[in-house]
Structure 1
Amino acid sequence: MDRAIAFASRTIGGVPLLLALPSTGDAPHPMVLWFHGFGVDKEVHRKELEQLARAGFLAVGVDAAGHGARRLPDLDARQAAPHEEALRTMIGLAAQTADEVPSIVRALADEGLADAERVGIVGVSMGGYVVYRAVLVEPSIRAAVAILGSPEWPEGDSPHRHLDGFRHPALLSITAERDKNVPPAAARELHRRLAALDPEPVHSYVELAGAVHLMSEQHWTQAMVETLRWLKRHLRLTS
């Protein structure tokens, strides 16, 4: 019978975390930071954190800026605002969240829990936006998976303008063909440019045929299979 995965709540630098600890292997562990979507929190991804922990990763769910234990009092109203206004709010919070990644990585590595040489990051929807910025600000990230996110931001310092910053980490982008919330074109174009830049790029783009933003269980299962395969491969985890 499989051993239960132990969860632990932590706060690092004011950032609330939910750690899922691997039941096998000694620390430091390869680590994967997981970022949720707009308006929810780290708790909605306990199942995914458990999957990662069972695969041998230290899985770290992160409450994004303005969410979860540090939720903005008017977040619901901001989310319900007209699209362009809500998008500005989301991107601002995603950028703030991404800028917190280096301190989280350093703290968990200094504590001996995380292997600083094997750091991964995954984000869904708003979390995908976080991923595209985080790989530009945290050089220790070896593997990144952006699910239903966009590297092209309508204002501010858009990640897609920093193409060289995407050449080092192994980046997997997973989009939904029929996504009206976050159309796949921007992520697809980023990977086209990366492929043109590097003859043998360590990047991959997966567009789920027929999928929408709030994807079906079947499409989500496919996305998780791709995510786990990518993380295991590029963080040198063979189990």
Structure 2
Amino acid sequence: MITVKNSKLNEIPFLHIADSTKWEEQLPSIIFIHGFTSRKEFNLYYAYLLAEKGFRVILPEALYHGERSTGLSGNELNLHFWEIIIRTIEELDIVKSSFEDEQLIDPSRVGVVGTSMGGIVTLGALTQYPWIKVAASLMGMPYYEKFALHQIDELQRHGVDIPLTKDEIAHLMNKIRELDLSKQTDKLRNRPLLFWHGKQDSVVPYSPAFHFYETIKPLYDKQPENLSFIIDEKAGHKVSTTGVIETVKWFETYL
């Protein structure tokens, strides 16, 4: 039987899903990161399917989302986008270390996956954590600095006041560059990486992610099977059933 528990680690609420008969065992594990304005519960179907395959799945709640909501409006939340990205990446290590200390995960078999904002987080996390063995970015995008500069330009063009000083913006941009996978592709180290994207996605267009995939293909010459990009010709900003199934297969194969 698959069991779901709602728990909290410091300030991080999370859902914990695994086969109840293996609950105390050291299992290969996957951290699943939800999308912008979403919440951890909305990805339970992924977690259930992964848990059925023998994985322990952890779904943390991102800052200002779900149980951590502070009542910010959509526009206010947009202004915290990169704070959320950076904090979530930092919290991945906290979550992983806690489960490792409890000997509930196999530290050599840990994967990370996310949808939309969660996919963006996943790609940034690959620059920081060698312990990520397998990753999947569903509707994500790796070009942190370009995306951040575009967002700032758009906010200024629409007359939106950015509540940061020039020094604070400079500090933020420095941190964003540190997490920009497009600038440090050597950190991929042939780790299995799956991309899924709908070709009709108007929220996070597929072309930047596909361009990145094309640029890193030579890095996987010796193990081309470790890199895959699935394009759904008809899908928008929602992972199709086929995309969900292929994500589960990816982790079943490589983790």
TM-score range, shorter chain: 0.7 to 0.9
State the distance in 2 between where 1:167 and 1:190 align.
15
Inter-partner Cα distance in structure 2 for 1:203 and 1:33: 19
Q: Quote the Cα distance in structure 1 between the aligned partners of 2:190 and 2:221.
A: 14
d(CA) in 1 for partners of 2:16, 2:50: 11
SS of the residue 2:111 aligns to = strand
- 8 Å contact kept, 2:196–2:230: yes
Name the structure 1 match of 2:220: 198
Alpha-carbon distance in structure 2 between the residues aligned to 1:166 and 1:8: 33
Choose 224-233 or 17-26, whichever is displaced more.
17-26
Q: What CA RMSD, in Å, does the superposition of the two structures yield over aligned residues?
A: 1.7
In the comparison of the two structures, how many residue pairs are matched?
221
Select 2:233's aligned residue among 203, 209, 216.
209
Q: Note the alpha carbon deviations across 1:19-38, whole angstroms, 9 max, x for none.
A: 01224446101101111111
Q: CA-to-partner distance for each residue in 1:110-143, whole Å, 9 max, x for gaps?
A: 1011111110111001111110111221211111
Report how far residue 168 of structure 1 moved. 4.1
Structure 1 residue 229 displacement after superposition:
0.9
Structure 1 outlier segments of 4+, above 6 Å: none
Give per-residue Cα distances to partners, 1:121-174, cap 9 Å, x unaligned: 110011111101112212111111110111112233133212112234211011
2:20 is aligned with 1:20: no
Contact 2:111 2:251 in 1 (8 A): yes
Is the partner of 2:126 in helix, strand or coil? helix
Match among 126, 133, 146 for residue 124 of structure 2:
133
Highest CA radius of gyration, 1 or 2?
A: 2
Do the aligned residues in 2 keep the contact of 1:23 with 1:53 (CA within 8 Å)?
Answer: no
2-side partners of 1:41 and 1:17: how far apart?
10
Instruction: Read off the aligned partner of 2:5 and give its amino acid letter.
Output: A
More helix, by proportion = 2
Gaps of 5+ in 1: 80-85
Alignment of 1:111-122 (within 5 A): 111-122=102-113
Answering whether residue 46 of structure 2 is matched by residue 48 of structure 1, we say yes
Aligned equivalent of 2:92, options 88, 96, 101: 101
Q: What amino acid maps onto 1:197 in structure 2?
A: L
State the partner residue of 2:5: 8
- Stretch moving more, 32-41 or 200-209: 200-209
The sequence identity of aligned pairs, in percent, is: 27
Which residue of 184, 200, 207 corresponds with 1:178? 200
